Amino acid sequence: MKQKMPRLYIVIPCYNEEKVLPMTSGMFLEELTSLISEEKISADSRIMFVNDGSKDRTWEIIKDLSMKDEHFIGIAQSRNRGHQNAVLAGLMEAKDKCDITISIDCDGQDDIHAMTAMVEEYLSGSEVVYGVRKKRDTDTFFKKFTAESFYKLLNKLGAEVVYNHADYRLISSRVLQEFAKFEEVNLFLRGMVPLVGFKSSCVYYDRHERIAGESHYPLSKMLGLAFDGITSLSVKPLHMIMSCGMVVSVLSFIGAIWSVVSQITGSTVAGWASMTCIICFLGGVQLISLGVLGEYIGKIYMETKHRPRYIISERTEDHD
């Protein structure tokens, strides 16, 4: 057990959520006060709403809440920047003020009560606790199928993501200090947090339906996030061009031999063999060249991210 009660900041991105906030804000407060009364977190813990450039009354509601109860606080982004950026803004704002953060959507889809288990995991030594969806009964077959295939594909491409975990997670401020050194602008938080390392664990919960309002993640945005996830975490697609080039070159070589043999045995029209040889040869050479370019672009791409090259998690005592 850690001696001091940790100060918790619950970070909640909100975009056009005037229908949902009046309902869920009470549920968040209830969970926070029950954690405080169980002496799992300190009394000065906070619920931080991040208004992501909403066009409705969301920010007014947040300001009202913060006047009524000191546990509610809010920050507002200058314009809509998307869910991932809103969560990051909240986490970076919170990292110097608290000991732990929990990020969660404001629509009540993720089980708010799972926070107790997350804090307990932290108290027993985990620095990152991932909220993992047990079942996806409330999702449509299409959403479930595409989401689960996406997690599998990402893992195949070498990106480390926790299966069926989205953005409901506890992160300690210590991990956030290290995370702040990841300077990339294309954010895919669920793939980036595992890169920081440190001791982590999972808490399982059931996902519900949205309490009110509508999802802001239509298929086009989901595909965008999936594509961002793959291209931010993996340069494997570039390696694939290289492998493809190799295979095509080998096939071209066989094709060239075949056309020469056909020519010699006299079973072709004049000019066919030379044409086929040229096409096969150029196809292979072009793909290999693209692959080589891709390898360099991949390296440049990774360099431009300025990710930290190492992160130290522990040190023995210095007896100097």
Residue 15 interacts with ligand UDP (CB under 6 A)?
yes
151, amino acid identity: Y
Residue 8 interacts with ligand UDP (CB under 6 A)?
no
Inter-residue contact 294 to 240 (CB < 8 Å): no
Residue 52 interacts with ligand UDP (CB under 6 A)?
yes
**Shortest distance, CB of residue 214 to ligand UDP, whole angstroms?**
7
Pseudo-torsion of CA 22, 28, 29, 33, nearest 10°? 170
Question: Residues 165-204: x/- map of binding to ligand UDP (CB under 6 A)?
Answer: ----------------------------------------
Residue 164 interacts with Mg ion (CB under 5 A)?
no
The DSSP code sequence of 93-112 is HHTTT-SEEEE--TTS-B-T
- Partner touching 82 among ligand UDP, Mg ion, none, CB below 5 to 8 Å by kind: ligand UDP
Cα–Cα distance between 23 and 103 in angstroms, integer?
A: 18
From the CB of residue 18, how many other CB atoms can be counted at a distance below 10 Å?
A: 17
Question: Residues 90-129: x/- map of binding to Mg ion (CB under 5 A)?
Answer: ---------------x-x-x--------------------
**Shortest distance, CB of residue 277 to ligand UDP, whole angstroms?**
53
Structure token digits, residue 55: 């066009």
From the list 105-113, 262-270, 291-299, 311-319, the region that binds ligand UDP by CB under 6 A is 105-113
Cα–Cα distance between 304 and 301 in angstroms, integer?
A: 5
Inter-residue contact 130 to 38 (CB < 8 Å): no
Instruction: Collect all residues with Cβ–Cβ distance below 8 Å to 150 and sequence separation of at least 6.
Output: 226, 229
Binding residues (CB under 6 A) for ligand UDP: these are 13-15, 17, 52, 80, 82-83, 86, 105-107, 109, 215-217
Binding residues (CB under 5 A) for Mg ion: these are 105, 107, 109
